Amino acid sequence: MLYLGIETSCDETACALVEDGRKLISGRLVSQTEVHKAFGGVVPEVAARRHLEVFNGLLNEMFEEACLKLSLPLRGDNENGLLAQIGAVACTNGPGLIGTLLVGLAGAKTLAWALEKPLLAVDHIQAHVCANYIDSDLEPPFVALVVSGGHTQIMHFSSYKEFAVLGQTLDDASGEAYDKVARLLGLGYPGGPAIDKLAATGNPRAYNFPEGRVEGLNFSFSGLKTAVMRTMENHSGVVNTADVAASFQDAVNRVLFKKTVNCARELGLNRIVLAGGVAANSDLRRRFSELSEAGTYRVYRPPLSLCTDNAAMVASAAFFSGVPAPLSIGAYSRGA
Ligand code: KG4
Ligand code: ZN
C-alpha cells in the first residue's frame, strides 16, 4: 500500500510516496535555504509563500515519477489502478511554523478529500525517527536520539506506536546551538553543515568548552554557546575558527553520544537510532559508527537526505502509527 506524505513544517517543501512504510517509490523536495540565507534564518511568512508557489508543481512531478496521473476530476475516478493503490494522505501538522504547516495541511486535506482517502496527521519529531524505517530492517524496541533545529530528545520506542521522551534539552536545541555558534563565527545560515565542514580541519582539543551540567538524560546547550562567545571576546574576535568549531562540535557530540549510550545500557536495549538534521553531522555519525563496529550496539542512521526534513519520513510514520484525522484538524507550533 502506498502512503502519500507531505512536509512543510519549516523551510523544505516535500512530498513522497512510500510503500508499506519502508520503500521510497518517489519523492520531491525543494529547500528554501538560499531564500533565507540573506536573512540569516528562516522568515516564516516568506517560507509559507514559497511553499504555496512550489507545492502543486512538486506533487505533479512526484506523481509523474511514480507513473501516476493526477487529473481532475478525482472524486469517483479511482478506477485508475495506480491511484487506487494509495492508502492514505499523511501530513505533518506540528511542531513547526504555523503558517508553513497550514500550506501542507490544506494541500493534504484537499487531496484526501479528492482521492477519498483517510487523512493522517503526523508529529514531526516522531516522523524524524521513522526515517530510519526506510530501506531498513529496524523494528522496535529501540532508543532514539532526535537532534534537530528545534528539538533534542532521547526517546524510547517500545513499539511502533508507543514511545516516551526520557530526556530533552532544557534550553537550546543542539541544531539551534550549531546555528548560533556558526553565526558567532561568521559562517552564515544554516550553521550546522558549515561547522561540520570547518571542524574537520580544526583541533577538537584546542578549547576546553564545557558540557552542560544537567542531571540524567536532559541536556543544556546555552552555557556552551556562551562559553564560545566569551572565548571570542577574550581574544577580541581573533581566534582560529576551525579550532573553535571543532572544540564546540566535540563538546556537543560528546554529551549527545554519552547520554544516548547510557540510556540504551540502562534499558538493556541494543538498538540505537539517530534522527533529525544534526544526525547528518559527520563527527556524530562517526562516533556512532565506531560504537556499532565495536559490536554491542546496532546503530541506525538515515542517509543524509532523510536526516533533514523530508516527506518520506512522514509517510513512513503514518504507515506505522498514523491515526485518521478529521478534515477540520489544525496545526500546532510546539510539542507537548
Ligand atoms: O531536522 P531539521 O532539518 O529541521 C528541524 O526539524 O529543525 O534540522 C535542521 C538543523 C539545523 O539546525 C541545522 O544547522 C542542523 O540541523 N544540521 C546540522 C548538520 N546538517 C544540518 N548540524 C550539524 N551538522 C550537520 N552536518
Ligand atoms: Zn525537522
Q: How far is the CA of 307 from the centre of ligand 1 (A)?
A: 8
Give the C-alpha separation, 332 to 215, whole Å.
30
Helix-helix angle 98-115:44-65, to 10 degrees: 30
Nearest ligand 1 atom to alpha carbon 125: 6
* Pocket residue to mutate for ligand 1, from 178, 283, 285, 333, most atoms within 8 A of Cβ: 178
Polymer length of the chain: 336
Kindly state the helix (H) or strand (E) to which residue 46 belongs, with its residue range: helix 44-65
> Where does 140-301 sit in CATH, by number?
3.30.420.40
CA–CA distances in Å: residue 244 to residues 40, 70, 281: 20, 51, 16
pLDDT exceeds 70 at position 79: no
Q: What angle do CA 65, 71, 75 make, to 5 degrees?
A: 120
Query: What are the CA-CA distances from residue 290 to residues 21, 22, 197, 199, 318 (Å)?
Result: 28, 26, 20, 19, 32
Is pLDDT at 73 greater than 60 in this prediction?
no
Q: Provide the pairing of β-strand 12-19 with 23-31.
A: antiparallel
Q: Which amino acid is at 275?
A: A
Q: How far apart are the CA of 82 and the centre of ligand 2, in A?
A: 30
145-165 mean pLDDT: 97
Task: Let me know: does 245 contact 285? Beta carbons within 8 Å.
Answer: no
The residue to mutate among 180, 249, 278, having the most atoms of ligand 1 within 8 angstroms of its beta carbon, is: 278
Query: Which sign, positive or negative, has the C-alpha torsion 147, 153, 156, 160?
Result: negative
Closest CA to 181 of 138, 214, 230: 230
CB 182 within 8 A of CB 188: yes
* CB within 8 Å of 50: residues ≥ 6 apart: 11, 13, 32, 35
* 2-130+307-324 against 140-301: fold identical: yes
Annotation: CATH topology of 2-130+307-324: Nucleotidyltransferase; domain 5 (3.30.420)
Q: Name the band, by pLDDT with cuts 50, 70 and 90, for residue 275.
A: very high
Mean predicted confidence (pLDDT) in 309-325: 97
Name the pTM for this structure: 0.94
Which amino acid is present at 104? G
Can you read off the three cell numbers belonging to residue 236? 577580541
- What distance in angstroms lies between residue 71's CA and the mean position of ligand 1's atoms? 36
Ligand 1 atom closest to the CA of 191, numbered from 1: 14
Evaluate the CA torsion angle 47, 53, 56, 59 in order and state its sign.
Answer: negative
Ligand nearest to C-alpha 278: 1
Look at residue 7 and tell me whether its pLDDT is greater than 90: yes
Ligand 1 pocket, mutate which of 195, 221, 288, 308 (most atoms under 8 A from CB): 308
Measured from the alpha carbon of residue 11, the closest ligand is 1
Task: Report which protein residue has its CA nearest ligand 1's atom 16.
Answer: 277
pLDDT for residue 67: 80
Taking CA atoms only, the protein residue closest to ligand 1 atom 24 is 281
- Closest ligand 1 atom to the C-alpha of 96? 6
Set of cell numbers at residue 162: 508507543
Q: What is the pLDDT of residue 16?
A: 98
CB atoms within 10 A of CB 98: 16
The domain segmentation of the chain, as residue ranges, is: 2-130+307-324, 140-301
Question: What rounded mean pLDDT belongs to the chain?
Answer: 94
Question: What single-letter amino acid sits at 236?
Answer: S
Q: What is the pLDDT of residue 198?
A: 98
Please choose, from the candidates 214, 240, 212, the residue with its C-alpha nearest in 3D space to the C-alpha of residue 227. 212
The answer to whether 281 touches 253, Cβ cutoff 8 Å, is yes
The Å distance, Cα 121 to ligand 2 centre, comes to 15
For residue 176, which ligand has an atom nearest its CA? 1
For the segment 22-69, what is each residue's pLDDT rounded down to a tens digit? 999 999 999 999 999 989 889 999 999 999 999 999 999 999 888 877
The predicted pLDDT at position 68 comes to 77
Tell me how far apart the alpha carbons of residues 317 and 126 are, in angstroms, rounded to a whole number.
Answer: 7
Closest ligand 1 atom to residue 190 Cα is: 14
Nearest CA to ligand 1 atom 14: 192
Pocket of ligand 1 (CB under 6 A): 10, 128, 148-150, 175, 178-179, 190-193, 196, 276-278, 280-281, 308-309
CB atoms within 10 A of CB 115: 20
Predicted pLDDT of residue 114: 87
Say how far apart CA 290 and CA 305 lie, in whole Å.
Answer: 21
Q: Which pLDDT score, from 0 to 100, does residue 230 have?
A: 95
Whole-number Å distance between alpha carbons of 37 and 17? 30
Tell which wins on pLDDT, 193 or 76. 193
Nearest ligand, CA of residue 280? Answer: 1
pLDDT at 70: 67
